[in-house]
Amino acid sequence: MVPQNFGKYQIREVLGQGAMGAVYKAWDTTLNRLVALKMMAPSLSADRELKIRFYREAQATAQLQHPNITTVYDFGEVEGKLFIAMELVNGGSLKELMAQEISFDRKVDWMIQVCRALAFAHRSGIVHRDVKPGNILVNADGAVKILDFGIAHLDSSDLTQTGTCLGTPEYMSPEIVRGQKVDATSDVFSTGIVFYELITGRKPFHDQSLTDLMHKIQKLDPPPVSTIAPSTPAAIDRIVAHMLQKDPARRYQDLDQAADDLKELQTDMILERAER
């Protein structure tokens, strides 16, 4: 059942539901604007440690002011339920858009925007930890908006109790699979997985068995992008392979570097067309 009112928010419709909670389209009656209102699952709201972490992460995330990161407007607790109110993006997720015919130029443009946003967050000391197509929105103007910075991993205290890994398995980095401490280079690996899928239409690591999937992520290198999408420039092969290095020290250490490489490719493609 969809709640009609939640504090100062009037609920309009359900936008999505998942393990972390539900997201609603809501009207802020104080500021008179539409927002995306995420209500955290009761299991999170009831856990004192997670509640403290939620507030800490939400405060940090609210400081991220970047054109490619969804803006956090408000957060707190109403009737025992934790919530976060964010910018409402009118558009689709990369997960949805991947099912459509998309030009290579547009894909490269989205990749550059994703890299710039994540690089900005990393400079601010925030690691996303759950980069995946469903957390990347594209609005009607073609602008990328990344969701769930900081709060994507709040259920990590469940790790020792359930023995399960945090995040979406097919987009995990090797260090997350191994339960090691992660930094910005973990996001670099996950971003490489997203880009691989965006270009080829296939996930680089896939298996029905979770155990076999974890093995592939840690040990196997996927086929080069160009072997699946033959028209792909060699530069994309190099950039994605650099992101997907098993050793974090061998990946891009700064996603602005990846964005610069993609921008150079973009410029080369424009010049090549002009010379035809």
**Which of 90, 82, 165 lies closest to 130 in space, CA to CA?**
165
CA-wise closest residue to 74 among 167, 6, 126, 146: 6
The answer to whether residue 74 is catalytic is no
Q: Which two three-digit tokens encode residue 134? A: 């469903």
Backbone φ, ψ for residue 201 (5° rounding): 80, 5
Question: Catalytic: which of 74, 109, 130, 155?
Answer: 130
Number of Cβ within 10 Å of residue 58's Cβ equals 20
b/e per residue, 144-180, with b = 16+ CB within 10 A? bbbbbbbbbbbbeebeeeeeebbbbbbbbbbbbbeee
End-to-end CA distance of the chain: 59
Q: Is 35 helix (H, G, I), strand (E, B) or coil?
A: strand
The DSSP H or E segment spanning 122 is: helix 104-123
Q: Which residues are catalytic?
A: 130
